[in-house]
């Protein structure tokens, strides 16, 4: 059985995070993001994506990480619609037969819904993002 | 009842945990930090195919006054200061986890503490099971069950 799943590994503040390829629509550079005062602080603004306005989230603000919004824009589909994620960079594709491990208990408040688990990428552990839980 | 305890030091205090199941002692290493984790969580690490959450024991017990760790702790020399420390990998109720300690002292057979309400100073009592003595040295015995019910 060859049940490999593929993930995009992205970088935030020097650490790896993952998004399933099945949710990925596009990797691009952040450009023409329109500020919108009505959106909350975690949003960088809105973007015209193939003729439709989508919200752009600064992932570092969501995860309370320091630094600038980042130099790569990742467009993903989620249960709450298409959204753009600002990250430091898109690093590589990971193809693995290992299933993600759930986040161990006692690490963070169980009401936080940002993570789907932990993945192994060679020697490193990568936090798998839950794209459906990133929007408030 | 007599049981074997592993004794270790955190912030000058002698602590102990009952030995049950497998236990591993490793030199301190950096865990993978998890953003938005509790302030006393160093992160997660993999050892022999198992993922362990790693807890900074001094902070769990309120024994240290150092700032937050993990993503917010890129203090100069921060990791260097940890080089002499150890990580103890344990299990509680089937859940594997790790704690960071200043040093591992020894294993010793000890009588289980009878009175968990004995007076204990300067330490968060949530995880304290009781006090025992070896040659007048006070040992605070811990019980990690409640570590997983935080928050």
- pLDDT digits 0-9 by tens, B42-85: 999 999 999 999 999 999 998 865 555 555 444 444 666 677 89
In sequence order, what DSSP letters do the residues of A52-63 get, joined into one string?
A: EEEEEEEHHHHT
The complex's ipTM?
0.93
- pLDDT digits 0-9 by tens, A54-94: 999 999 999 999 999 899 999 999 999 999 999 999 999 99
Helices (H), B37-149: 57-60
CB contacts of B37 in chain A (<8 Å) are 107-108
- pLDDT digits 0-9 by tens, B94-148: 899 999 999 999 999 999 887 665 567 777 778 888 888 988 899 999 988 877 7
Query: Min CA distance, A83 vs chain B (Å)?
Result: 21
CB-CB under 8 Å, A124 with B37: no
- pLDDT digits 0-9 by tens, A18-32: 999 999 999 999 999
In sequence order, what DSSP letters do the residues of A71-134 get, joined into one string?
A: SEEEEEEETTEEEEEEESEEEEEEEESSPPBPPPTTSS-TT--SEEEEEEETTEEEEEE-GGGS
Q: How many CB pairs under 8 A join A and B?
A: 67
Q: Is A99 on the interface with B (CB under 8 A)?
A: no
């Amino acid at each position: 059985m060859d049940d490999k799943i593929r993930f995009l590994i992205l970088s935030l503040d020097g650490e790896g995070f993952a998004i399933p390829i099945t949710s990925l629509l596009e990797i691009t550079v952040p450009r023409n993001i329109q500020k919108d005062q009505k959106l909350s602080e975690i949003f960088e603004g809105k973007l015209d994506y193939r003729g439709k306005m989508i919200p752009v989230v600064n992932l570092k603000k969501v995860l309370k990480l320091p630094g600038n919004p980042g130099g790569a824009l990742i467009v993903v589909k989620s249960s709450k619609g298409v959204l753009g994620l600002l990250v430091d960079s898109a690093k590589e594709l990971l193809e693995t037969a290992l299933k993600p491990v759930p986040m161990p208990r006692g690490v963070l408040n169980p009401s936080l819904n940002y993570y789907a688990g932990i993945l192994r990428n060679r020697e490193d552990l990568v936090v798998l993002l839950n794209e459906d839980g990133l929007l408030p | 009842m007599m049981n074997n305890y592993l004794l270790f030091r955190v912030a000058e205090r002698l602590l102990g945990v009952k030995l049950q199941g497998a236990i591993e002692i490793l030199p301190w290493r950096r865990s993978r930090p998890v953003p938005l984790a509790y302030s006393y969580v160093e992160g997660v690490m993999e050892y022999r195919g198992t993922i362990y959450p790693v807890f900074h024991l001094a902070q769990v017990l309120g024994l240290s006054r150092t700032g937050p760790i993990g993503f917010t702790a890129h203090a100069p020399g921060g990791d260097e200061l940890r080089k002499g420390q150890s990580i103890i990998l344990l299990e509680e109720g089937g859940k594997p986890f790790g704690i960071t300690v200043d040093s591992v002292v020894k294993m010793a057979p000890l009588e289980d503490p009878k009175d968990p309400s004995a007076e204990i100073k300067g330490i968060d009592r949530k995880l304290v099971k009781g006090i025992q003595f070896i040659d007048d040295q006070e040992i605070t015995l811990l019980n990690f069950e409640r570590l997983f019910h935080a928050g």
